[in-house]
Amino acid sequence: MSVDTATVKRVAKLSRIAISDERAESMKAELNTILGFVEQLQEVDIEGVEPMTSVVDMDMRKRVDEVNDGNKANDVTANAPASQNNFFMVPKVVE
Amino acid sequence: MTELVDVRTPNPKNFFPGEDHDWELVIGLEVHAQVTSNAKLFSGSSTKFGNAQNSNVSLVDAAMPGMLPVINEECVRQAVKTGLGMNAKINKRSVFDRKNYFYPDLPQGYQISQLYHPIVGEGEITIQVGPDKQGNFESVDIGVERLHLEQDAGKSMHDQHPTMSFVDLNRSGVALMEIVSKPDIRSIDEAKAYVTKLRSIVRYLGTCDGNMDQGSMRADVNVSVRKPGGEFGTRCEIKNVNSIRFMGQAIEYEAKRQIDILEEGGSIDQETRLFDPVKGETRSMRSKEEAHDYRYFPDPDLLPLEFDDAYIEEIRAELPELPDVKRTRLMGEGLSEYDASILVSDKSYADYFEQVAEGRDAKIAANWVINDLLGAINKAGKDIEDSPVSAEQLGGIIDLIKNDTISGKIAKDLFEIVFNEGGDPPKIVEDRGMAQVTDTGAIESAVDEIIAANPDKVQQAIEKPAMIGWFVGQVMKATGGKANPQAVNKLLREKIGG
Amino acid sequence: MTDLTKLTISELREGFKAKSFTSLEATNAFIDAIDTSNETLNAYIVQTADIARERAAASDAKLAKGEGGALEGIPVGIKDLYATLDVHTQACSHILDGFQPRYESTVTQNMFDDGAVMLGKLNMDEFAMGSSNETSYYGPVTNPWKRVGEQTDNGTALVPGGSSGGSAAAVAADLCAAATASDTGGSIRQPAALTGTVGIKPTYGRCSRLGMVAFASSLDQAGPITKDVRDSAIMLGSMASSDPRDTTCVDMPVPDYEAAIGKSIKGMKIGIPKEYRLDGMPQEIEKLWEQGKAMLRDAGAEIVDISLPHTKYALPAYYIVAPAEASSNLARYDGVKYGLRVDGKNIEEMYENTRAEGFGEEVKRRVMIGTYVLSAGFYDAYYTRAQKVRTLIKRDFETVFDNGIDCILTPATPSAAFAIGDKEMAADPVKMYLNDVFTVTVNMAGLPGISVPAGLSDEGLPLGLQLIGKPFEEGTLFQAGTIIEEAAGRFNAPRWW
Ligand SMILES: [Mg+2]
Ligand SMILES: [Zn+2]
């Protein structure tokens, strides 16, 4: 399988990465090199094989239903590019 | 995705009239119910409603680099419990997936949810639609496709600043159960009954508080129309409807909109729409339209969620009596289907009723709870949880009737006093001299007086025994309503005959 | 006085104990070395000299009382991937511009609890995506090793490998006693091999990932790069732990890894997988592998030919699984909560501009490949298939171990260090990816793997051998690794900088 320029642009959009027409062209070639490389997986017989979900065999640890975190709005917003009164601020979203 | 199967027989009662032919609605509901828990699904921060912005937020909820989710065992338990309450298949192995999309109130850039292997599989909810004019309910089984656990998103506010939106992550990561129905619903009444029933089940179970006004329960409504019994039509999804009343309005508007389009020869675009409660209409959410591709895949930060039969059985053993079972039991105890249905429809009603009925006549208790208490509460716009008349007080009033201390009529006055002023019913009766007169001598003299003053009426009563009622009224009036009506009746019949 | 920067952890430990020198003296020696060398090598992107001196002094106070943990007073470098409280943490990406976490990673916390002294944050490939440390926002790291005859400022500058290039170079150039690193497809073992240092990637789940900036969650593991095998055991012992805040971290006590050093390997069965003999593999790598076999055989191990039939599919499967996970893990860098924000006329443009400017080209490539392979219609063909292949790769190893093999010996890399700005690799991303061809299988199967320096290339550059162990049997790797180290000797970069 390989990608065309339109697909590269669609994928860039899905990835929220701005891409110029020119870069989309070169990116297309790079992505196709990689897709060509992974193509060899098609030859593996995977009949009846379960996909891996966890590389280490173990039970999932769970937390008890206890409130032991939070109340750190200052820490949470300390690195925000824009914030006010412990709110994050973003360019206005229209629904 | 699963194939759509039609399990319903078209019922003309549900049809929507059209120009050339009738239309049938097909509705499927995705209800998001907030899990009752102290902490969030994958972090230790609080789920409490109404706290200061970003205070219920941990570094995990804010998606700080390197932070990892750890699942809250109580949320798992609540989901299993809810599944059992819907007679659903519990999956002993389920998997958390990431649903990837960008939105400012989605800090991770993905929502942890369960797509391919949900914790709960197929189940069923029996709804009661009605009552009709005869007071009868129709029972309908609505299939449940699945229930899965997922994270709630945060909240964006758009009215605080001219060019910026404000983001609060307090809800980010709160556990939700998404309960997806099959497209088995065929009318607005059924849709309302379904959400009502689902809310009642989770409240009985204590797995969700069901408060729609606080967003603890909200529904995505999938609506399509078709010729009765025909092929399924193209559906539209109305997002995030947060009241049962709005849901009814939204479906009605949407059905008419779709029918209009189809009757004009147009076709329906599958799209996501938003209900505007002010205008009472749905509108397309164009912003959500552009090619969504959520790229679901198993969350590599979490292992599969696994448990055994013993775990399920332990939870099953804790299940309370659920509304359907309770309704059947109450009907066996002499209640009408109507009364039983009303009482079980809300766990708080049932709890109140059962307290009143304890050691008393169930039918009488039901009448008082439904007609008097619920009537007064609704009129006062109160919840039964903070009813001014406690179950104990209402029981006391009923006891006073039972032991002939007061008449049924006086009891209504007494109820009103307790409702408005509070107090101990027997004491109020005593203090205010409300006890009925059972002293035959006193009643007899009143009866004699009335008979003597109305010879013509006596004559009429002899000819027409129904006239006795007029005498009863006069005697009651003369005794200030306190005479025992049975005693009055008995005396009048003896003296006038008939 | 001896040059304190040349000492191993165990030597420093002895020196502190014997009161030959203090932690503060050692720390100052490293700070001086960094001041002198870092401009040339670019191993550190941030120095924390004040914090280091403060912690060293505190360690000296403890040491004076005969107290202190396993790393008490040991000056270390920390890969920029690890969150360090209030200190620059950017995974060497521009998108985390200015980020100073209000938290500490579990691994660094474990080390600081044990007394480690942080000298600064180390350079790395952006988000650990790379095999040459050339994708860092802070520029490439220069390998302290140069080819024989080129060991001058003007000699060809070589890469230290990646993504833990800063860690490997800093250890090799004596700019820290040891360093933390991380390994998703070979990012500890490959740079260790290319710099003559020791690097271990422990079993997946042995170290907590909490506070490590995530690249590919199902593959990422923390581990150390050190001067020798004993130090590797000491460092891992401190870094590893269970962690209630990482569901994928095992709830198992950490063994005394150092106890494995010096134990005989008599009777140990060492597997030699035939699939690692690649077409066109350089003669010197082939030769090194033969020498490794001989070293282990001479020490009493039994050498057994084995087969791991799905080996060749590990790298292609990796280049589906890792980018897929990365595309999702890196979605949080959106200009809202931290780091860079580049404005746009609406929120969508803000996202797109921020991510276009904040991510480097290799990261963008991987995010886009990952997005593509997960997108509608391709998920099963790519992702599900790759995860099935992964099951087969793991099964290959299980079969071999079930048949009595104790550990597996392979080359660590297909070549010695190459030049910074290598044209071929720059032109073809897959050429660069092939650097991880021997290491990536281990990540795909979640196993422990160690790279130990075993010889020099024809051009005088270090080469490493890799030992692969059973899950949670890192001790076996230290045991066998010590044998190679003793037989091959240690390799120090001739100083030219
Ligand atoms: Mg939905
Ligand atoms: Zn949902």
Largest CA distance in chain A: 57
Q: How close does chain C come to A65, measured CA to CA in Å? A: 14
In whole numbers, what is the pLDDT of chain B averaged over residues?
92
Q: CB contact, 8 Å: A8 with chain C?
A: yes
Task: Note the pLDDT of residue B289.
Answer: 46
pLDDT band for position B149 (cuts 50, 70, 90): very high
**Closest to C348 (Cα-Cα) out of A89, B286, A16:** A16
Angle, helices B440-453/B485-496, rounded to nearest 10 degrees? 50
In a domain, C78, yes or no: yes
A22 contact residues in C (CB cutoff 8 A): none
Active site residue: C23, C37, C59, C187, which one?
Answer: C187
Residue B197 predicted with pLDDT over 90: yes
With an 8 Å Cβ cutoff, is B296 touching chain C?
A: yes
How many Cβ atoms are within 10 Å of B367's Cβ, its own excluded?
Answer: 15
In a domain, C243, yes or no: yes
pLDDT under 50 in chain C at which residues? none
Residue B274: per-residue pLDDT: 92
pLDDT at A95: 62
Predicted local distance difference test score (pLDDT) of residue B472: 86
Query: Is-contact C14 C28, C-beta < 8 A?
Result: no
Q: At the topology level of CATH, where does B440-496 sit?
A: Arc Repressor Mutant, subunit A (1.10.10)
Q: For residue A51, what are the β-bridge partners?
A: none
Please confirm, yes or no, whether C23 is among the known catalytic residues: no
Is C52 in contact with C117 (CB distance < 8 Å)? Answer: yes
Domain annotation covers residue C286: no
Using one digit for the tens of pLDDT, what is the confidence trace for C367-419?
999 999 999 999 999 999 999 999 999 999 999 999 999 999 999 999 999 99
In this predicted model, what pLDDT tens digit does every residue of B34-78 receive, in sequence order? Answer: 999 999 999 999 999 989 999 999 999 999 999 999 999 999 999
Say which residue the tokens 């891409």 belong to. A19
B60, B164, B274 ranked by CB distance to A90: nearest:
B164
Identify the closest residue of chain B to C81 by CA–CA distance.
Answer: B66
User: Which chain A residues touch B305 with a CB distance below 8 Å?
Assistant: 60
pLDDT at residue B125 greater than cutoff 60: yes
Which domains does chain A show, CATH number per domain? 5-42 (1.10.20)
User: Which pLDDT does position C1 carry in this prediction?
Assistant: 57
CA distance B104 to chain C (A): 7
- Per annotation, catalytic residue among C163, C182, C232, C451: C163
**Residues B443 and B492: beta-carbon distance below 8 Å:** no
- In DSSP notation, C196-209 reads T-EEEE--TTSS--
pLDDT at B357 over 70: yes
Q: What domain count does chain C have?
A: 1
Structure-token match 């579990």, residue found: C106
Contacts of C128 (CB under 8 A, 6+ apart): C81, C91, C162, C163, C164, C182, C184, C187, C213, C215, C220
Q: Tell which wins on pLDDT, C166 or B382.
A: C166
State whether residue B375 is helix, strand or coil. helix
Q: Residue B330 — pLDDT band, cuts 50, 70, 90? A: very high
Give CA separation, B297 vs A25, B35, B254, B428, C390, in Å: 28, 24, 33, 68, 15
How many angstroms separate the CA atoms of B203 and C242, rounded?
39
Q: What ipTM was estimated for this complex?
A: 0.97
Q: Across the interface, which of A37, A72, A93 has its CB nearest the CB of C430?
A: A37
In a domain, C186, yes or no: yes
Chain B CB contacts of C375 below 8 Å: 293, 295
Cα angle C412, C415, C419; round to 5? 125
The pair phi, psi for residue B440, each rounded to 5°, is -60, -35
Contact B44, A72 (CB under 8 A): no
Are B126 and B141 a contacting pair, CB within 8 Å?
A: yes
Distance (Å) from CA B319 to ligand 2 centroid: 25
Nearest CA in chain C to A60: C247
Task: Answer whether residue B290 shows pLDDT above 60.
Answer: no
Q: List Cβ neighbours of A63 (8 Å cut-off, separation of 6 or more).
A: B39, B44, B70, B71, B72, B73, C244
Rounded to an integer, what distance in angstroms lies between the CA atom of residue C408 and that of residue C402?
13
Q: What is the DSSP letter of B159?
A: S
What would the mean pLDDT of A15-36 be, rounded to a whole number? Answer: 97
C198 lies in which domain range? Answer: 4-264
Could you read off the pLDDT of B435-494 as tens digits, one per residue? Answer: 877 777 888 888 888 888 888 888 888 888 788 888 888 888 888 888 887 888 888 888
| C189: nearest Cα among C201, C177, C179, C178 | C201
**Tokens matching residue A21:** 């027409």
Q: What is the pLDDT of residue B291?
A: 60
Q: Which of B71, B297, B301 sits opposite C324 (nearest CB)?
A: B297
Q: pTM for the whole thing?
A: 0.92
**How many whole angstroms from A72 Cα to the centroid of ligand 2?**
28
In chain B, CATH 1.10.10.410 covers 440-496
Distance of CA C37 to the CA centre of its chain: 21
Q: Which of C248, C351, C386 sits opposite A16 (nearest CB)?
A: C351
Residue C187 bears catalytic tag: yes
Q: Do B295 and C379 touch (CB under 8 A)?
A: yes
Q: What is the pLDDT of residue B436?
A: 79
Indicate the pLDDT class of residue B82, thresholds 50, 70 and 90.
very high
Helices (H), C207-282: 229-239
Note whether residue C398 is domain-resident: no
- C287 included as an active-site residue: no
Phi, psi of C272 (to 5 degrees): -120, 105
Contacts for C275 with CB less than 8 Å, ≥ 6 apart: C307, C308, C309, C311, C312
Q: Which residue has the higher pLDDT, B460 or B90?
A: B90
Whole-angstrom Cα distance, residue B304 to residue B297? 13
Which residue, among B468, B472, B496, has the nearest Cα to B485 in the 3D structure?
Answer: B472
Above 60 in pLDDT, residue B138? yes
Strand order in the sheet with B110-113: B110-113, B97-100, B297-298
CATH number, residue C18: 3.90.1300.10
Residue A72, chain C, CB below 8 Å: the answer is yes
Please report whether residue C456 resides in a domain: no
Residue C182 makes CB contacts below 8 A (sequence gap 6+) with C79, C81, C82, C128, C163, C164, C188, C212, C215, C220, C221, C222, C223
